Each structure stands twice: as structure tokens, then as C-alpha cells.
Amino acid sequence: MRYSLFEPKTSFVHSLDPRTKLVWLLTMFSLAVLFVDPLFTMTIFASIIVVMVTSKLSISRLLPQLRAIALVACMSVLLWPIWIKPGNVLVSFGSLRITDLGLFMGVGVAFRLATLMSVGPVFLMTTSQRDFIAGLTHLKLPYKVVFLLSTSFRFLPAVIGEIATITEAQASRGLELDKGSILERFRKRLPILIPTIILSIKSSQNLAIAIESRAFGAYKDRTCLSELKLRRADCVFYVICLSVLAFGFWLRLQGYGTIE
Amino acid sequence: MSSQVSIRTKGLWHTFDNFHALRGIDIDIGLGENIAILGQNGSGKTTLVKHFNGLLKPTRGSVEVFDRNTTDTSTAELARFVGYVYQNPDHQIFSDTIREEIAFGPTNLGLPREEVEKRVEEALSLAGLSGFAGSYPFTLGKGMRERVAVASVLAMLPKLLIIDEPTTGMDYSGLLGVLRMLERLKDPKKSIIIITHDMWFAARFADRLIIMSEGEIIADGPTREIFLREEILEKAFLRPPQPTRIAQKLVRFGIRPDCLSVEELFAEIQRLAGKPWQ
């Protein structure tokens, strides 16, 4: 069982300051939300692919994310043309008309979603948990909030592991999840849900005791084992991100990148 | 003849990603056998028994459970014959009362209500929980929760019962409770397999030991014989229970080296003490 998405590698992206990567993440989010034009969203997504390649992430680790992205993107391409009526008709089946505008919208939104879905995983896969915490702490976020965020990332895979074990245990008692009506199937999740919740509460109690016995919150200001320093590459990356973002806003205000 | 065999594996291999967890396991388990599987953490014990109720399917080789090939039989179907009690009872307990918890399995088998109730009562008394049917399972001690978990599987009347580490983290009275329950469950028409790290418990309960190391079975035979094979036990980082070890040190005085309990060792010493020492 894997407990973290982080993949230790030596690459340019890995060596960047976590705060820089956060700025990159926010830039990508904003750009993705700003534009719908497929040409724009495709370019944004392509830049993420470039980051993925430079960070030397292994395909096998990326595959589950890519698969989910492909699924959502396909849905967008298939569903938007059904709802968008204006534009030049490309094909029509009875009352269903597929217009160029609809298709445009579908492809545009597909790449927007792909961007939104891939930025987070790339960030988490290239940033160790320690760096992530240090980054958030240096941004002057209260340490309790930082701890909350980082432990939820840390415990999610563990909980997924527990759910798998519980599902097996109940299957051994003859529970068949994929039989019956929707209501029945929902009810059949209870024997899995209840032990999961109880175990999670127990483990959070244990965690509380463990961190308190190690002086959690004894000092208001928290120091970090690895002090972060912005390097030249980080500054360059900052400037690039911020200028691209500013340029993006300007383009959008000029009316580029949208679909009328 | 085949009706005498509950499990038969042939050349069973199991591979996770690139790790060979099982490397060619061949075993037959007969009805009426009470077996303990021993071995270090990561030696493949749990992986092996998960093949016995179809939770895992062989990467290579075959597993037959009561003459059914597990590859094309679902776990829910095998649950009619094979009961599997998980290592941690908290992974399966979800009901408000012990009675409801135990009724879950037989209800899943689609049995009529009266039959379910009958089986629940039987399982409660077998597990020594008769007075606790209405109790809330989460507030009980570890030993009791383990017995609830076992009872909930017993109510399904499995012909093969598998219990993964029934004694971890238990005090002596919890241990004795589980042992007494297992003694009551011994039945010439059924088989019981436990996985354990507790040599004392294995010596008291099992009449056959299977020792695993690095995905292979390195010893398999009657408990008394296996505990004599020091070099093999050492390979699996195991030591016989203390009475057996003392007995082995006293062999030159004429004491049987295969004593399994304090009582047996004491009887031997008494027998010798009746005679003059040489």
C-alpha cells in the first residue's frame, strides 16, 4: 500500500521551492478558469505535459490520473455538443444537431478540466510532504491548519487501504456488493462504512495522543528542519508564472480566448 | 476419497507486482485437521490462506476448495464452506449488538429466519458469549471482540475455518478464552487453520504445523515432530515453546524431547524421579 503520492526523483521541478510550485499551481488554475477557447486551454494543458516530462514522473504512477482525465475529457467532448445549439450545423440526427460551436466548447472545456485535474497530482508527486509543510508554514499559515492539511493527505491512502481490508473481511462473510437494487446496494455499504468510521476515529485519537506527547503546539512559532530559501531558478519561475498570469488576464480583458 | 480433502493446492505461485509472495506451494489439507501456520512476517502465511476462500487467485498453479477450483468461484460462494476470520476484529464488527453481528453472515447466505436464529444461538454458546447476546460489541475487550468475530463466522457453519492471528495483543485470560473456544470447535468432519506467532498457542492447539519462509513451505508435519527439527525452526526464526526447549535440554536424563506443555514435562520428570538418578 502506498501512503503518499510523492515520487522521489532528482529533477528541475522537484528541486523548486514548494512555494514556487504553489504559485505555479494557482497560475494554472486561474488560466484554466479564464479561457474556454480550445486553442488556449490546449496550450495550457500542453505546458503541464511539459512539466510532467521534465519532472521525470513514471508513467505507471501517472496512469491512474491520466485515465481519469481521459474519461472526463471524453464526457465533455460528447456532452457539450448536445446542449449547445447555436453555430453552424456539422451533423444532424433528427432533432439532435451537432454544431461547430458545440464541438468547440466540448473540446475547450475538456482541456480545461484536464488542466484542473492534473495540476494537483503533479504538485503532490513532485513535492515531499516535508517540503509541502515547510512551504505552507513559510507562507505564515497557522501550523494547526498546515498540520490538518498535510495529515489529511497523509491518511487518505491509509483509509483507502483500510476500506479494502474491511471489504474483503465482509466479502468473506458472504456480502455481495454488486447485487440488488440501488437502495439495497447502498444499504450493503453500511457494513463497510461503520467499521471505517470507527477505525478512523480511533486512529485520530491515537494520532492526537502521539503528537501531544511530542509537544505539539508547545511553541506558537514553528521552526522547520529544512529552512526554505528561494533560489535564482525559483525567482525566474515566479516571474514567468506571474507574467504569464498577467498576460492571460490582459488577453481575456481584450476578449480573446472565449467562445461567444 | 476426495471428500476427505478440504484444500488442495498444486504448484501455487502468487506474485504482487514483481514480488513473489508464494513460490510453488503444494499442500493437502484433510477434514478433521487442526493446523497452525507459522513463519515470520512477510513469509506468505496470510497470502496463502487468502487463496483458500478466493480473496486471492493464483498467479500460477491451482487451488481446489472442496473440489471447486477457486479461479472460477466467487468469495461469496466459497463463504458457504470456508469461514475466514480477519486479523483485526475491528475490520468487520459493525452492528449494535453481538446478536445482530453474528446474524449478518447466515443472513447473507439467504437462510430462513428461524435457521439464522438457531445458528446464532449455537455460535454464541460455542464462543462462550451466551450471556452477551445483547451487548454492544465495541465496548468489549480485545479477547471478547475476537470471539465475536469468530462466532460471526461460525454461524455460517463453515467446513473449513481460517483464523488469522487470533491471539495478538491479548492477555492470558483472553488467550485461554480463545483456546478453549477452539478446543470446543475441533470436529472430525471440519478443518481449522490458524496463523499465529505464539508457539505456546500453536503447541496447545495444533496437531499439524506448517512452517513458511520466503513464500515456501519449509516444514510440514505433526506438531511434536516439527518442534524437534531445530535447524528448520531456526531458518524461520522460530523457537519451540519453553517446556519443549527445557525437555530437549534434559534429553540425556531420559526425558522425552517432544513435550509440548508444562504438564507433559512435569509428568516426565515425575516418571524419572520415581527411579534412581544415574
Output the pLDDT for position B1.
39
Output the pLDDT for position B25.
94
- Whether residue B168 sits in one domain with residue B139: yes
pTM: 0.75
Test B55 with A176 for CB contact under 8 angstroms.
no
Neighbours of A90 (CB within 10 A): 13
Test B86 with A168 for CB contact under 8 angstroms.
yes
Among the listed residues A133, A149, A112, A139, the one whose alpha carbon sits nearest the alpha carbon of residue A32: A112
Test A173 with B91 for CB contact under 8 angstroms.
no
- At position A117, the amino acid (one-letter code) is M
- Whether residue B139 sits in one domain with residue B111: yes
| pLDDT, tens only, B74-106 | 888 898 899 999 888 999 999 999 999 999 999
Which B residues, 208 through 237, put their C-beta within 8 Å of a C-beta on chain A?
A: none
Q: What is the 3-state secondary structure (H, E, C) of A64-128?
A: HHHHHHHHHHHHHHHHHHHHCCCCCEEEEECCEEEEHHHHHHHHHHHHHHHHHHHHHHHHHHHCC
Give the integer Cα–Cα distance in Å for A199 and A193.
10
Give the integer Cα–Cα distance in Å for A4 and A177.
28
Contacts with A195 from chain B: Cβ below 8 Å: 90-94
Site from A162, A172, A188 to mutate, B interface, most B CB atoms within 10 angstroms: A172
Output the pLDDT for position B276.
54
Average pLDDT value over all residues in chain B:
90
Q: What is the mean pLDDT of residues A34-43?
A: 92
Percent of chain B with pLDDT over 90: 63
- In the three-class reduction of DSSP (H, G, I as helix; E, B as strand; rest coil), residue A171 is classed as helix
- Whether residue B263 sits in one domain with residue B206: no
Among the listed residues A96, A99, A29, A42, the one whose alpha carbon sits nearest the alpha carbon of residue A73: A42
| pLDDT, tens only, B191-247 | 999 999 999 999 999 999 999 999 999 999 999 999 999 889 998 899 899 999 999
Query: A225 or A36, which is more confident?
Result: A36
Contacts of A29 (CB under 8 A, 6+ apart): A116, A119
- Whether residue B266 sits in one domain with residue B168: no
Question: Predicted ipTM?
Answer: 0.83
**pLDDT class for B116, splitting at 50, 70, 90?**
very high
- Whether residue B259 sits in one domain with residue B228: no
- Whether residue B173 sits in one domain with residue B145: yes
DSSP string, B106-167: HHHTT--HHHHHHHHHHHHHHTT-GGGTTS-GGGS-HHHHHHHHHHHHHTT--SEEEEE-TT
CB of A191 less than 8 A from some CB of B: yes
- Whether residue B229 sits in one domain with residue B199: yes
The domain in which residue B253 lies consists of 241-278
Cβ proximity of B142 and B174 under 8 Å: yes
- Whether residue B203 sits in one domain with residue B67: yes
Test B153 with A199 for CB contact under 8 angstroms.
no
Among the listed residues B178, B198, B147, B257, the one whose alpha carbon sits nearest the alpha carbon of residue B39: B198
> Which ranges of chain A does DSSP label H, i.e. alpha helix?
12-15, 18-34, 38-54, 59-83, 100-126, 129-138, 143-171, 182-188, 190-212, 232-253
Average pLDDT value over all residues in chain A:
88
- What is the CATH classification number for the domain harbouring B88? 3.40.50.300
- Whether residue B72 sits in one domain with residue B131: yes
Among the listed residues B173, B195, B153, the one whose alpha carbon sits nearest the alpha carbon of residue B42: B195
Test B91 with A169 for CB contact under 8 angstroms.
yes
**What is the number of domains present in chain B?**
2
CB of A169 less than 8 A from some CB of B: yes
- Whether residue B119 sits in one domain with residue B256: no
- Whether residue B194 sits in one domain with residue B278: no
**pLDDT class for A60, splitting at 50, 70, 90?**
confident
Give the integer Cα–Cα distance in Å for B117 and A183.
26
- Whether residue B164 sits in one domain with residue B114: yes
pLDDT for B2 beyond 50: no
Output the pLDDT for position B35.
96
pLDDT for A1 beyond 70: no
Test A195 with B94 for CB contact under 8 angstroms.
yes
The CB-side HSE value for B30 (13 A sphere, CA atoms) comes to 8
Contacts of B188 (CB under 8 A, 6+ apart): B31, B32
CB of B109 less than 8 A from some CB of A: yes
Q: What is the mean pLDDT of residues A104-121?
A: 93
**Among candidates B84, B93, B153 on the partner chain, residue whose Cβ is nearest the Cβ of A195:** B93
Cβ proximity of B39 and B213 under 8 Å: yes
Cβ proximity of B122 and B160 under 8 Å: no
CB of B53 less than 8 A from some CB of A: yes
